[in-house]
């Protein structure tokens, strides 16, 4: 299972890519706006064109850091607008994947973009039927939001198992990209379900690295060594 990092924070990405386990990244308008605000405290004075320019710079830098697919989301909600934005975003870097929301207009857009060779990550997917239609429209990735389903008392991981089975039944090339990951168990459960990818916030990834017994064991080994050989 591939691991993507779900953030637009360039400093966090630089730190985590050094681990050698990051295969790609996902962003959205919220994450990009937070990164612009972090880098430029005076961003409120920026024009719309300046904000778009800075967003593209951040996306390019992320692409150079992760060396894998980087999802960039459109803002438009109509197909013509989505296609126009997608074509502009795809020029940023060869690794850019276009995030399209699951709507009738989004399905239409996905079909158009996939026919042009532009990869789509269908986002805001909450049911197996939506995932099935996304694959039929030619999406390269489909992003079921497990955490948000958990929030409303649905078993979010159940959708992952069902979608993986459906895709395997029909040989779809669409990759299942588990999104809205809230904790390390989502990562383990996604791997058990056979998901292709999971995208995780930096905080969740850092929790994956930690185990108290590892820390205790390391401390004991070092302490025992020092007892024999000194500092």
SS3 call for 133? helix
Give residue-wise pLDDT tens across range 170-200: 999 999 999 999 999 999 999 999 999 999 9
Quote the CA–CA distance of 95 and 62 in Å, as a whole number.
10
Quote the CA–CA distance of 166 and 172 in Å, as a whole number.
8
Contacts of 12 (CB under 8 A, 6+ apart): 5, 202
Positions in the chain short of pLDDT 50: none
Beta bridge partners of 72: 98
What tokens were used for 58? Answer: 């951040």
Residues assigned a catalytic role: 99
The closest alpha carbon to 25, from 216, 229, 205, belongs to 205
Quote the CA–CA distance of 110 and 130 in Å, as a whole number.
13
CATH code of 2-229, in short, is 3.20.20.70
Contacts of 119 (CB under 8 A, 6+ apart): 69, 97, 98, 113, 140, 141
- Tokens 């605000």 sit on residue: 37
pLDDT of residue 95: 98
Provide the 10 A C-beta neighbour count for residue 212. Answer: 7
* Contact assessment for residue 200 and residue 181, using Cβ atoms and an 8 Å cutoff: yes
pLDDT of residue 225: 86
What residue segments make up the domains of the chain, in order of their start? 2-229
The closest alpha carbon to 26, from 48, 50, 3, belongs to 3
Quote the CA–CA distance of 130 and 149 in Å, as a whole number.
14
């Amino acid at each position: 299972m591939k691991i993507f990092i779900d953030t637009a924070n360039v400093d966090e990405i630089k730190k985590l890519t050094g681990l050698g386990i990051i295969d790609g990244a996902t962003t959205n308008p919220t994450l990009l706006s937070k990164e612009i605000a972090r880098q430029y405290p005076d961003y409120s004075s920026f024009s719309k064109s300046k904000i778009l320019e800075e967003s593209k710079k951040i996306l390019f830098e992320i692409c150079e850091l992760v060396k894998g697919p980087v999802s960039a989301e459109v803002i438009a909600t109509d197909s013509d607008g989505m296609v126009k934005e997608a074509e502009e975003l795809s020029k940023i870097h060869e690794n850019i994947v276009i995030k399209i929301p699951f709507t009738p207009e989004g399905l239409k857009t996905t079909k158009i973009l996939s026919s042009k060779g532009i990869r789509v990550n269908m986002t805001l997917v909450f049911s197996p039927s939506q995932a099935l239609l996304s694959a039929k429209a030619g999406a390269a990735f489909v992003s079921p939001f497990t955490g948000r389903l958990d929030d409303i008392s649905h078993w979010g991981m159940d959708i992952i198992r069902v979608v993986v089975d459906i895709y395997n039944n029909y040989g779809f090339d669409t990759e299942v990209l588990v999104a809205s990951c809230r904790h390390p168990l989502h990562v383990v459960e996604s791997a058990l379900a056979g998901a292709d990818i999971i995208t995780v916030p930096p905080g969740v990834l850092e929790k994956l690295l930690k185990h108290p017994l590892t820390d205790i064991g390391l401390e004991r080994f070092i302490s025992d060594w020092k007892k024999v050989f000194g500092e």
